[in-house]
Amino acid sequence: MIGQVTLQNRVRNLKEAKRFPHFAIFVGERGSGRMTFIKENFKGIFLEDVKVDSIRNMIQMAYKMYDQVFVIPYADNMSNAARNALLKVVEECPNNNYFIMILEDENNTLETIRSRGTVFHMDRYTPDEIEEYYRKRFCLSETTIELERKELSIVRDLCETPGDVESIMKYDATNFYDYVQLVVDNIAEVSTANAFKIPSKVALKDDAEGYDLRLFWKAFIQICMSNVMKHDRTSKEILKYGEAVRITGNCLQQLRIRGINKQMLIDTWVLEIRNIWM
């Protein structure tokens, strides 16, 4: 695992001092390595899902076992019934057991649950750490990296986590960036019907084929910002691209909302961008 030095030190110091909390909440972006971090630092029992029956089974195990670590992954997707069941056990953890909940956004759980746990945030990855991961996973030699400088630049600029690197390399970083550039150049020029075909290459479900929507919008923002730098401050183009950055940034924030309708979100985005650019 790369990076996470601050978090690693914090967890190690708490464990060595025997002060690690019995209920811990690890928060980090998708692809930030939360599960990898937990597996490297704890020998635990990992739940396969977060359905209410699984939570209740875990609670029953906790009252029969001692000194165990129970890990609850993908906790953003827990139902209210599952959260309420969990709340009962973390109020007072039985038999010196430990519970670790993994979240993408800490707002996706009950405040009463958050208040009973200690929150650990995954460290942000630096561009150098992202490059280190890219080199280890996708570059066979220094000769390769010399040939892929554009690809590396895209990875450093857009990727915030190792998971982002995996995602963008799955469909070729350069081809992806070229496609987004094509969208920037043509979204206001094509017919309305063709404009709504833009999302056809974007994955709107986690298990679907296509470009990652968050990375797509990040690349769109980056290209718009680059276009801003090319124009004089009095140019109307600056307002055009600046407004597009604002709209797309708002969409990125909404992506964090649990259960957001991505199809509706990207359709609205297409309309708003075309309205300000046409």
CATH of domain 5-121: 3.40.50.300
Burial class (CB in 10 A: 0-12, 13-18, 19+), 256: middle
At residue 92, φ and ψ (nearest 5 deg) are: -150, 95
Q: Does the pLDDT of residue 200 top 90, yes or no?
A: no
Helix, strand, or coil (residue 93):
coil
**Please, are residues 145 and 135 in contact by the beta-carbon 8 Å criterion?**
yes
Q: Does the pLDDT of residue 139 top 70, yes or no?
A: yes
Tokens representing 70 are 């129970």
- Residue-wise pLDDT for 21-58, tens only, equals 999 999 999 999 999 999 999 999 999 999 999 999 99
Q: Select from 230, 244, 252 the least CA-distant residue to 273.
A: 244
pLDDT category at 241 given cuts 50, 70, 90 is very high
Helix, strand, or coil (residue 49):
coil
**For the chain, domain boundaries:** 5-121, 171-277
User: Within 10 A of 233 (CB to CB), how many other CB atoms are there?
Assistant: 6
Partners of 54 in beta bridges: none
Helix, strand, or coil (residue 48):
coil
Contacts of 237 (CB under 8 A, 6+ apart): 227, 228, 231
Q: Select from 25, 128, 9, 17 the least CA-distant residue to 75.
A: 25
Show the DSSP H helices in the chain as ranges: 5-16, 34-41, 52-62, 80-90, 111-114, 127-138, 142-147, 149-158, 162-170, 173-186, 192-195, 213-229, 236-254, 262-277
Q: Select from 29, 49, 27 the least CA-distant residue to 38.
A: 27
Mean confidence (pLDDT) of the chain: 92
Contacts of 197 (CB under 8 A, 6+ apart): none
Q: Kindly indicate whether the domain formed by 171-277 is annotated with CATH number 1.20.272.
A: yes
What's the pLDDT score for residue 198?
A: 85
Tokens representing 278 are 């046409």
- Residue-wise pLDDT for 153-166, tens only, equals 999 999 999 999 99
- Using CA atoms of 16, 20, 25, 28 in order, give the dihedral in degrees to the nearest 10: -20
Alpha-carbon distances of 169 from 135, 144, 157, 173, 221, rounded to whole Å? 12, 15, 14, 5, 20
pLDDT category at 143 given cuts 50, 70, 90 is low
pLDDT category at 206 given cuts 50, 70, 90 is confident
Q: How far apart are CA 55 and CA 172, in angstroms?
A: 39
**Please, are residues 2 and 98 in contact by the beta-carbon 8 Å criterion?**
no
